[in-house]
Amino acid sequence: MAKTVAFTNAKPPSNLHSHRTTSQTHTVSFLNLNNLSFVSCALTLRHKNKQPNWSKPSLVRSKSGLGLGLGPVDPLEMAAGAWNRTALLVIDMQRDFIENQGPMLVKGGKEIVPNVIKAVEVARQRGILIVWVVREHDPLGRDVELFRRHLYATGEVGPTSKGSPGAELVDGLEIREGDYKLVKTRFSAFFATHLHSVLQGAGINNLVITGVQTPNCIRQTVYDAVALDYQPVTVVVDATAAATPDIHLANVFDMKNIGVATPTLQEWIDFKA
């Protein structure tokens, strides 16, 4: 596949977003985290056998301003036949993290609920294994991190205690037959769990990540996945969230530097083999 990449420091129009023309020239916006300025990048791609293979980093700014398509691996370079080697991880989309009165509220979490619901719907259509990664703690907090033990010493039910309403998934998300539920007690979905064994046994080597929150459970799960040689690892940038957009973007930027692909949800949906 031949491709040319051209950069310009010219300020793009305010309504500039990723789009496609009949000549298959793609224009995308880059977010420069150092000076908060934008530059535009024109990518001219000629596809062979309809199989994308982007060896250069690509960045895409979503309409919400939160999405950065970052990473040296094309976030969509999986043919349809590869979906059965893919798992969608839905991380911590529980009431105590998402609902307004939740004791562990992630302020950006509620906004992404519709996108997480859509990602799950698309995963089901593609036959992708859905892994529901949740926290469920001992009501006395005996299995929680030391810095959170005080939350379980009040005589009341602590956050995401097993069997509590706060440990349930938010409305619109449900575990169905064929899905897999994984309980964790630390940030990473791989730490002290059997997730790696389950994925290996299912022939999974591609991971797509959604949920909360970016600097903690998302980031640590992603870094462990990279260390375990899952490839590609994809973070859907507008189906993940943190307390603020700045925190979210900074962590997305870090993850792209270790080879993580970060498409918007629509980019992931639109891919056709």
Residues designated as active site: 92, 184, 217
One-letter amino acid at 60 equals V
